[in-house]
Amino acid sequence: MRSIIETYELATSNVHQVLAVEGRIEAPNWASSGDWLLVNGDGRIYRVLLDTPVLQLIDTGPAVRCNNDHGLTPDGTGLILSSHHEGVGSQIYVMPVSGGDLRKVSPEAPSWWHGISPDGRTLTYVAARMGRRVIDVYTQPVDGGVEVRLTFGEGHCDGPDYSPDGTRIYYNCDRTGHAQIWVMAADGSGQRQLFADDQVNWFPHPSPDGQHLLYLAYPPGTEGHPADLPVALVLADPDGANRRRVREFTGGQGTINVPCWAPDSSAFAYVRYEP
C-alpha cells in the first residue's frame, strides 16, 4: 500500500503531490498557519511541512492508538485527537500542539471527533451511547461539560463539520436510504437533505470562506465508508447546487475524514492510495 498526499488548487485545478510514502497515511488537516499538514498513520500523529515534506512525529504522550479523526483548534495552538489507547474504544482528547498534557474531553466511549466551531469553543463529533451501535451527532464544549445529542437514531449519521460562521453543521446520514449530505442549525434544528443522487456521499467540509462544499462520493451500493474503492471528490455550492467531480482515484477511508481546507480556501488536501 502506498499513500499519496496531494493538494488541489481551485483556481487552476492543479494537483500538487506533497508526499508519497509506503503504508497507510490518512486524513490531512491544513494548519491555520498554512505551511503544514497534520496526518495520522499506524496509531501516531505526524506533521508534514509543505516546503520540506517528511513525516515528523508529534509526541502525543500515551495516545499511541490514534485514528483518523483528529484536527487542530482554529488558532492553531491545540491538537484534537481520537484515540483507543485506554482500551475501551475511541475517546476524544485535547492537548497543546507544541506538546504537553493530554486531556480527555469525551464523557464516554466510543466517540470520534470531526469538527470544531470557528470560535474554538465547541466540538462536534459522533458517538454511540448506552451500548447501542447507533451513531449520532453530538456537540460538547471543548473545555468539557454536558454533551448535546443532535440526531436521534434516524440512521447512521457521521462526519459533522461546522459552517465558517458557526451557525450550521454539515453531516452525512443514510436516513433516506443511503448516505447523503445533510445540514442543520448548530443546535440541531432544521435538519434537511441538501440533494439526492445515487452516490454514497460522506464527509462534507465547507470551505473557510463559505463559498464551497467538498465531500467524498462512493459508488452506488457502498456500505459504510470503506478504504480502497474508486471514489470521487466533489465540489458544490454550500446549498448543494452545482456539484462537479474534480478528482477520481482509489481512496475512501482516510481520504478526507476531517476538515482539510487551506485557511485561505484556495486549495484542499486529501490522500489517495495505490496498491
For the segment 238-272, what is each residue's pLDDT rounded down to a tens digit?
999 999 999 999 999 999 999 999 999 999 999 99
**Residue 150 grid coordinates:** 443532535
Q: What is the spatial distance between Cα 251 and Cα 231, in angstroms, rounded to a whole number?
A: 6
Per-residue pLDDT, 90? 98
Please say whether the dihedral angle defined by the alpha carbons of residues 154, 150, 94 and 24, taken in this order, is positive or negative: positive
Q: Which DSSP state fits 32?
A: T
| Position 112 pLDDT exceeds 90 | yes
Burial class from Cβ neighbours inside 10 Å (0-12, 13-18, 19+) for residue 94 reads buried
H or E segment at 106?
A: none
Which residues touch 133 (CB under 8 Å, ≥6 apart)? none
| Position 109 pLDDT exceeds 90 | yes
Q: Please count the other Cβ atoms lying within 10 Å of the Cβ belonging to residue 152.
A: 10
Per-residue pLDDT, 16? 98
| Position 99 pLDDT exceeds 90 | no
Q: What are phi and psi of 161, to 5 degrees?
A: -150, 135
More confident site: 80 or 132: 80
16 close to 262: Cβ distance less than 8 angstroms: no
Per-residue pLDDT, 154? 87
48 close to 29: Cβ distance less than 8 angstroms: no
Burial class from Cβ neighbours inside 10 Å (0-12, 13-18, 19+) for residue 23 reads exposed
Half-sphere exposure of 120 (CA within 13 A, CB side): 11
* Tens digit of each residue's pLDDT (9 = 90 or more) over 30-70: 999 999 999 999 999 999 999 999 999 999 999 999 999 99
The mean predicted confidence, pLDDT, of the chain is 97
Which residues touch 129 (CB under 8 Å, ≥6 apart)? 108, 136, 149
Among candidate residues 73, 78, 66, 83, the one with its CA nearest the CA of residue 26: 66
Domain 2-274 falls in which CATH fold?
Neuraminidase (2.120.10)
| Position 153 pLDDT exceeds 90 | no
- Per-domain residue ranges for the chain? 2-274
Please say whether the dihedral angle defined by the alpha carbons of residues 127, 130, 133 and 134, taken in this order, is positive or negative: negative
pTM recorded for the entire structure = 0.97
